Structure 1
Amino acid sequence: MARRLRPVEVDFARSAPVRLVFARRITASPESVFRALAEDVTDWPRWFSAVTLARPTEDGAGREVRLRGGTRFAETVLVAKAPEVYAYRVDETNAPGVRALVEEWRLTPAGTGTRVQWTFAADGPVAFRGVLRLARPGLARAFRDAVTALDRRLAG
C-alpha cells in the first residue's frame, strides 16, 4: 500500500466534504443482502464487477479489496449491524489524492424487498474533490449494475 489515510469514523459518511449517495430497491431481503455484504466478502467480485478481489482480514474486522485497474484498499469495518448497516473505512490505499474515505451501506425493508443505499464519503484536495464529483455518473452506474447483479445472484 502506498499511503495511510486519516482515520475517520462512521459519522464521516454524513459530514464528508464529498458525499455521493445512491439508492436502489431490489427484491432480496435485507438479511440476505447484509449477508452478501458483510459475511460473504470473498463473493463481492461475482456481483460487483469493479472488484477483482475482496477478502476479510483480522478475523473479519478488516478487509482487503482490489479493483480493476490496480487500485488497492486495506479497510477497517466500522459497523456491521445486521441487517441494517455495513460500513468500512479505508486505512491504506494506492489511489492518489484521497485523504479519508468511508463507505456505508444502509438496508431498509421495502415491501418484500430492500432499499439499498450506498454512501461514498471522501476527502482530499480540491482537485480530488472535483474529479470525484465528475465521477458521480460512473459510480452511479457501477452501484446500479452491482446491486442489480447482487439481486439476481441472491434470487438464483
Structure 2
Amino acid sequence: MAHLLREVGLDFVGTAPVRHVFAREITAPPETVHRALADDVSGWTEWFSAVTLARPLDDGARREIRLKGGTRFEETILAAKSPELYAYRIDITNTPGARAMVEEWRLAPAGTGTRVQWTFAVDGTAPFRFAFGLARPGVGRAFRDAVTALDKRLTP
C-alpha cells in the first residue's frame, strides 16, 4: 500500500530524527559524478545494485525508484543544478511507518577525484525509526558498494 509522506525541504537533512551519513572518496571528478546522479537516472540500475528500476518523471523534476525486495519510491528532486549537490524528497512509498524522507548527495573535490557524502534523513513511527537505526550497517554497505561500482563505471 502506498503512503503519502510529509512534504519537507532540504533543511530536513539537518533536523531529521534519524540520519545516516556515509562518505567515500572516488577517482571520478565531481562533474562526472553529478551527471551520473542527476542526468543519468536510468543508469542507477547499473551501479546501485539495490535499485531495480530508476526512471525520471515530469521532465526530470521527479523520479520513480524501485528496489530489490519490492520497496517503491516516487520522489521530487530538491536540488540538481549545482555540481556539488543532488537531493530528493520521497513523496510516496510503500514502506510502512515512514513519514518523511530526504536523500542528499554532496560532492566535493578530493585531489583529482571526488568525496561523495550521502545523507539519508528520515522520520516515521517509533518502530520505523528504530528499524531504520538498526539498518545503518546494511545501508552503509549498500552505499560503499554503489559508489565503488559507480566509480568503476565512470573511470576508464
The residue number in structure 1 matching 2:45 is 45
| One-letter amino acid of the counterpart of residue 60, structure 1 | G
List alignment gaps of at least 5 residues for structure 2: none
In structure 2, distance between residues paired with 1:15 and 1:81? 23
2:97 counterpart letter in structure 1? G
Segments ≥4 residues shifted beyond 3 Å = none
By how many angstroms is 1:21 displaced? 0.2
Q: Which residue of 2 aligns with 1:109?
A: 109
CA distance in 1, matches of 2:94, 2:13: 21
Q: SS of the counterpart of 1:34?
A: helix
Distance 1:20 1:121 in 2: 7
Deviations for 1:109-128, whole angstroms, at most 9, x for unmatched residues? Answer: 00000000000000001111
TM-score, scaled to structure 2: 0.98
Read off the aligned partner of 1:135 and give its amino acid letter. A
**Structure 1 residue 3: deviation in Å?**
1.0
Q: Which amino acid aligns with 1:79?
A: A
For 1:35-93, what per-residue CA distance to the aligned partner results, in whole angstroms no more than 9, with x for missing partners?
Answer: 00000000001000000000000110000000001111000000113310000000001
Q: For residues 49 and 107 of structure 1, what CA distance do their matches in structure 2 show?
A: 21
* Residues 1:94 and 2:94 aligned together: yes
User: Counterpart of 2:146?
Assistant: 146
Aligned partner letter, 2:135: A
CA distance in 2 between partners of 1:92 and 1:84 (Å): 26
CA RMSD, aligned part only?
0.8
Distance, in Å, in 2 between the alignment partners of 1:44 and 1:82 is: 19
Q: Deviations over 1:129-156 (max 9, x none)?
A: 1110100000000000000000000013
Q: What SS class does the counterpart of residue 81 from structure 1 fall into?
A: coil
Paired residue type of 2:86: Y
Ranges in structure 1 where 5+ consecutive residues have no aligned partner: none
Helix, strand or coil at the partner of 2:137: helix
1:31–1:82 CA contact under 8 A, matched in 2: no
1: distance between equivalents of 2:15 and 2:79?
17
* Other-structure match for 1:11: 11
Matches within 5 A, 1:3-82: 3-82=3-82
Give the structure-1-normalised TM-score.
Answer: 0.98
Query: Among the aligned pairs, what percent are the same residue?
Result: 70
